[in-house]
Structure 1
Amino acid sequence: MVKKTILWIHKWLGILTGIVVFFVSLSGAVYTFQDELKLLCYPSKYVLRVDRVEQDPKPLSELIATAQAQLSPTERVSRVDLYPAKNRSWVFRAAETDPNAFGHWNYHRYNKRVFLNPYTAETLAVEDTKNEFFQLCLQLHMNLLLGKTYGHALVGYSTLVFVLLLLSGVILWWPKKWRGKPLKRALSLDWKTKWKRLNYDLHNVLGFYSLFIAIILGITGLVFSFPAFQKAYIDFFNAFSTQVDVKDLRDERPDTTVYRSADPLDNALHYLLEKYPSADMMSVRLRDASAPLLDVQIRMEENRSGKFKWYYFRRDNLQVDKVQDSQHLPAGDKLASLNFDLHTGSIGGFTTKVLACIVSLVCASLPITGYILWWHKSRKSKKRNKTSAARAAY
């Protein structure tokens, strides 16, 4: 009786959220390799056609002005993603959203990226990111292209239901006997069986083997979807942390006699490029001139957003106010910083990315095989009812 109730709940929750899970999982599988695929698809935007560049990059303030000139007067550069590697372009991002708008194209008032050669200030490309393929995949994954207010909640609650479906699926999958034919059917696929049975096995067996990683993808998705869940998650694990030692930074500040510029951000960035030449990427959020602090996030390893240093400089004298290091965070904050790497599979490099991609494709298949199971049983039930009605009439 209990298992029958769970099956009924599993069926109807799956029917209600299946189409959302399909699109979210499929777009997630594609987005897993977006960093690698962008380099393959758009090499002229991201890779400089030079073997080695000897000179230093131009001042960031000059490059920002160059990028800004490529945009309309109503569009403003708000973030810069730059690479210490000499063969990479720098990306100047301009975006503005309307949080209450319905639909992707209304939600993004504008979303542009200007790609510059940082050593010559040459404009390599101006991208309308709102219509770029991988951005559309990301927005489909995050909010089904419906905008944040409507789509984000729909994806979030569907993800929560999907995690519950995975857990209830384990109960339904559980073999009656842990030996012989029942165990073999629960753990393996028979490609020679009839298609109806094969579809059933694809749903059960693939769902079981992908369970652990699928739950990780689901829970990390919930962290992105629900701020209250994220806070509870961080606070819970922080409770188990000891006090973290913080480096005394009172004497750390860029030497402006080495690199003189009227713009303090130019000096701060030059200092960090000299200090971390092997870092993968640096991101600068452009603050108002009245903001007392300048901040630069440094991604230390390729495709690993969870390994970073975040520098905060005082605008007036460039003294380092603080450095947030991912290696010296309390347990909850460290897990939260790794959330993107866990969600995309980049936590363990290429191997875990492949696993995340495969499991995402399996998750996309589960609503399809589940719908087929429901459709077949519905037809069978209707046929049985017609037969019973005919017999009764006879």
Structure 2
Amino acid sequence: MRAILVQLHRYVGLSVAVFLMIAGLTGSILAFQSEIDAVLNPRLFRVENPGRPLPLSTLVSRVETAMPGASVRGVTLPTDAGGSIHVSLAAVGQKQLDQDEIFVDGATGQILGGRLWGAARVDRPHLIPFIYRLHYSLHMPGSWGVWLMGGVALAWMLDCFVGFYLTLPRGTQFWKKWRPIWKIKRGAGHYRLNLDVHRAFGLWLWAALFLLALTSVAFNLNTQIFRPVLTALLPMSPSIWDRSSLPLPPPVRVGWDQATTLARAEAVRLDWPHRPVQRIALAREAGFYQVRFGNRHQAGFGTWALYVATTSGHIIGAERGGDGQAGDIVDALIYPIHSGQIAGLPGRILICLTGLVVAMLSVTGVYIWWKKRAPRAARRHHERSKGPSTQAEAIHAAE
């Protein structure tokens, strides 16, 4: 059994090594994507002479006038007085947009610049969105990259258990044999150093690595694997996003400002702790606004949300992290765990370092395989000519 698991760990690791190295390095950058993006693009994220912001409905109207063929689907508000407003756009009809994310001076409505999110470009405005898309889909067309990276994440998640099992020593004196595996021997040669680093970091960060793999599966294979398994194991409440789109979008009788005011009043009624409005999104086809409360990197379960009907202004849904049934709580934890924001800044630092460890484990794993390759080939050649004399030798040859 152990020999089979050794082979499984080896070849699964080799198959996913390149993909995990890309995911690990890009994930380390994305742990601080908003800060890096702002440093790279100060003219987009900062306003020179901040003033009193325009009403949201006025701002949205000016943006849609300036961007013919586009409708505003979301507005992200700045966290301080000197920040710009981020506006997400959707194409109207069959029109192709050159920019679907623009940055606006909230006091004047002036467009500071824009970009096409996820475009295969590495200039300053597009670098972070490029890395983001590379992280989960490798920029492959359609859903192929999402499925591929989801499959890689699934294989990695299962291999976490295999790798942990293979560190467990056999025979007697279990703790005496297992304790050195958690350490890195000083003054060792290159092969032993790589082996120690591969095993020790894999053990010390096993929980973080497993959770990263699990949450990656949840993102990329959500409807295919994660949600069916979750709903089979734990009770879940129906999601407002599961509602089917209406044949014709309902009329938008409630404006952006009114929706935000109604959501704020509902938050007070629900006795939610004071949190700023972070983002307002319009799901036109489903007939509601989503108003999110909290900061972008809010520790814990992240931002909370209220849903306001576009026709009547009624509150038709609420999402507060940590509430609901067991499945709702697990589902709400996926992004906070994957991004590290569940623990605030220390959690994001841990995710950044863990991403580097993922890349390092991929490199050391390939190195260990390469260094063992020649001796294994020579041993197999010798055994084919002679054949193992004992069962113990046969097992050793398989390993």
> Which interval holds the TM-score relative to the shorter structure?
0.7 to 0.9
- Give the aligned partner of residue 128 of structure 1: 116
Task: Answer whether contact 2:254 2:310 (CA < 8 A) is retained.
Answer: no
Task: Answer whether contact 1:281 1:298 (CA < 8 A) is retained.
Answer: yes
> 3-state SS of the aligned residue for 2:100?
strand
Q: Distance in 2 between matches of 1:359 and 1:223?
A: 18
Structure 1 unaligned blocks of 5 or more = 97-107, 242-261
1:171 maps to which of 165, 176, 179: 165
Change (3 A) 1:317 1:9: closer
> 3-state SS of the aligned residue for 1:37?
helix
Q: Which amino acid aligns with 1:42?
A: N
Q: Which amino acid aligns with 1:268?
A: A
- Give the aligned partner of residue 231 of structure 1: 227
Matched, 1:59 2:55: yes
- Give the aligned partner of residue 137 of structure 1: 131
Identical aligned residues as a percent: 19
The residue correspondences of 1:41-190 to structure 2 (distance < 5 A) are 41-50=40-49, 53=51, 55=52, 57-71=53-67, 73-83=68-78, 85-95=80-90, 112-129=100-117, 130=119, 131=121, 132-176=126-170, 177-180=173-176, 182-190=177-185
- Give the aligned partner of residue 17 of structure 2: 18
Q: Distance in 1 between matches of 2:148 and 2:97?
A: 22
Question: CA shift at 1:386, angstroms?
Answer: 7.6
Q: Distance in 2 between matches of 1:218 and 1:171?
A: 17
Question: CA shift at 1:70, angstroms?
Answer: 4.6
Task: Answer whether contact 1:344 1:353 (CA < 8 A) is retained.
Answer: yes
- Give the aligned partner of residue 371 of structure 2: 376
Task: Answer whether contact 1:84 1:273 (CA < 8 A) is retained.
Answer: no
Change (3 A) 1:312 1:383: closer
Q: Which amino acid aligns with 2:205?
A: S
Matched, 1:335 2:334: no
- Give the aligned partner of residue 279 of structure 1: 276
> 3-state SS of the aligned residue for 1:304?
coil
Q: Which amino acid aligns with 1:309?
A: W
Structure 2 unaligned blocks of 5 or more = 238-252, 269-273, 387-399
Question: CA shift at 1:202, angstroms?
Answer: 1.4
Q: Which amino acid aligns with 1:117?
A: D
Q: Which deviates the most, 274-283 or 110-119?
A: 274-283
Q: Distance in 1 between matches of 2:101 and 2:57?
A: 17
Question: CA shift at 1:300, angstroms?
Answer: 1.8
Q: How big is the alpha-carbon RMSD for the aligned residues of Structure 1 and Structure 2?
A: 3.2
Task: Answer whether contact 1:75 1:110 (CA < 8 A) is retained.
Answer: no
Q: Distance in 2 between matches of 1:279 and 1:88?
A: 15
CA offsets 1:281-313 (integer angstroms, 9 cap, x no match): 12312515xx6x331231323413943333333
Question: CA shift at 1:31, angstroms?
Answer: 0.8
Question: CA shift at 1:348, angstroms?
Answer: 0.6
Q: Distance in 2 between matches of 1:268 and 1:61?
A: 10
Question: CA shift at 1:112, angstroms?
Answer: 2.6
Question: CA shift at 1:88, angstroms?
Answer: 2.4
Q: Which runs of 4+ in 1 moved over 6 A?
A: 273-277, 385-391
Residues matched between the structures, number: 352
Q: Distance in 1 between matches of 2:75 and 2:185?
A: 53
- Give the aligned partner of residue 297 of structure 1: 291
Q: Distance in 2 between matches of 1:341 and 1:228?
A: 21
Structure 1-normalised TM-score?
0.79
- Give the aligned partner of residue 188 of structure 2: 193
Task: Answer whether contact 1:185 1:201 (CA < 8 A) is retained.
Answer: no
Change (3 A) 1:273 1:118: farther
Task: Answer whether contact 1:32 1:357 (CA < 8 A) is retained.
Answer: yes
